[in-house]
């Protein structure tokens, strides 16, 4: 089960799925007390960033 979860995580990163849990962990450890984006806001912000500049896709 643990292995499966790890592989799912790896696959998700490779295809570029935004990782909200990692973001939350980061904010908790590095910026405790700061306001965090909601899951929905985070997902939208990530997608906009990915498709608004060259450098995420090639020929």
Give Cβ neighbours of residue 47 (< 8 Å, ≥ 6 apart): 18
The binder of another protein chosen from 14, 33, 34, 35 (CB under 8 A): 14
Find the shortest distance in angstroms from Cβ 44 to another protein: 7
Find the shortest distance in angstroms from Cβ 26 to another protein: 3
Q: Is residue 38 within 8 Å of residue 13, measured between CB atoms?
A: no
Per-residue contact flags (x/-) with another protein for residues 16 to 55, judged by CB under 8 A? xxxxx-xxxxxx-xx--------x--xxxxxxxxxxxxxx
């Amino acid at each position: 089960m643990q292995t499966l979860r790890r592989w799912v995580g790896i696959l998700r990163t490779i295809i570029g799925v935004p990782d909200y849990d990692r973001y939350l962990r980061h904010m908790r450890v590095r910026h405790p007390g700061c306001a965090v984006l909601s899951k929905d806001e985070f997902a939208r912000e990530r997608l906009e960033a990915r498709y608004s500049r060259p450098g995420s896709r090639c020929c």
